[in-house]
Structure 1
Amino acid sequence: MKITRLAVTALRMVLVVAFLLLLLFQVMSIPGQFAHMAQENPDRANLQWPLTIFFILEVACVQVVIVGTWKLLTLVKRDRIFSNGALVWVDAIVWAIAAGWTMLAALSAVVVLSADDPGLPLLLILILVAGAALGLVVVGLRALLRQAADLRADMEAVI
């Protein structure tokens, strides 16, 4: 159990750093980047706010995954991971991944239809495939968690 505590503590520290960095991106970097883009390319200034909002929402989806992971780590620490309460947080993670993937798919469709160079569309498609794989893995793990929670409830009822 000591290795589990160490792993949970280390992952929590990584999650805090990642969340704070993402918050910094949301508040300063993303709006600043697209404001600079609008100044440098006035013909693309109309993209400033749609792209700013898009990327802030994408980062928010990642932040939901971080919060959900934090909550699941709390359940691991309390030895309550195999409970129905864990499924709520896994569902939040699944929905955040699905929302982020859907928004990225919409942006990718626009980029693919208007691109003259195949580099960016291929990169976006690669990211979409990786995001779909991640989402499907989490859905599969959710099914395993559901089975384990049901088995634990059955065992507790017998004991």
Structure 2
Amino acid sequence: MSRTSRLVVPLRVLLAAVLATLVTTQVAALPAILGRTAEQNPDLAPYRWPLLALAVVVLACVQVVLVCTWRLLTMVRDDEIFSERSRRWVDAILAAVGLAWVLVLVACALVAAAEGLSGTAALLLVALLVGAAVGLLMVVLRALLVQATALRTDLDGVI
């Protein structure tokens, strides 16, 4: 068993734990947090439901990334990562990251319109920067996967 194959199980356990935490956050924590925020800050009360909807969809995008990563781990374990099928999973990750980034941008605009430059708006700006970095990193990794797949195909043709 290769070192990479031994890492698949612990990574899957971690992915499952993160997925369970995200579902709990979507169902229980977010509605409660935004409800309290609306009570404490009346300026944000009209934005409670739009922000909740945005947050739930952003977390759903993260869940899509986790599921795609799970599938890519299976492909790594089965030594099928350098294939056209793997690129589709990476493309799905890129789409989810892009959608989440746009939604965080909308949430940032809503919060900035309601409160001005607040701590929440600053936190959302940080999330935008992190999301942009993750998205750009995924673009680079996708390009590397495409190159490695082409090299693997060429090598399989030679052998």
Task: Calculate the TM-score normalised by the size of structure 2.
Answer: 0.89
Which residue number in structure 2 is paired with residue 59 of structure 1?
A: 59
TM-align CA RMSD: 2.0
Q: Deviations over 1:4-37 (max 9, x none)?
A: 1221111111000000110111112112333344
Unpaired runs of at least 5, structure 2:
none
CA distance in 2, matches of 1:117, 1:42: 16
1:56-135 superposed matches below 5 A: 56-135=56-135
Change (3 A) 1:31 1:123: closer
Matches within 5 A, 1:130-145: 130-145=130-145
Q: Which moved more, 1:63-72 or 1:109-118?
A: 109-118
Q: Cα offset for 1:88?
A: 0.6
Matched positions, count = 159
Rounded to whole Å, the distance in 2 between the matches of 1:94 and 1:70 is 15
- SS across alignment from 1:80: coil
Question: Is 1:7 paired with 2:7?
Answer: yes
Aligned counterpart, 1:33: 33
* Cα offset, 1:132, TM superposition: 0.5
Structure 1 letter corresponding to 2:21: L
Q: CA deviation at 1:86?
A: 0.5
TM-score (norm 1): 0.89
The whole-number CA distance in structure 2 between the counterparts of 1:54 and 1:43 is 18
Shift of 1:117: 4.3
Q: What letter corresponds to residue 122 of structure 1 in structure 2?
A: A
**Alpha carbons of 1:117 and 1:103: their partners in 2 closer, same or farther (altered >3 Å)?**
closer
Matches of 1:69 and 1:21, distance apart in 2? 17
1:47 CA displacement: 2.4
Between the two proteins, what is the percent identity of the paired residues?
42
Shift of 1:112: 3.2
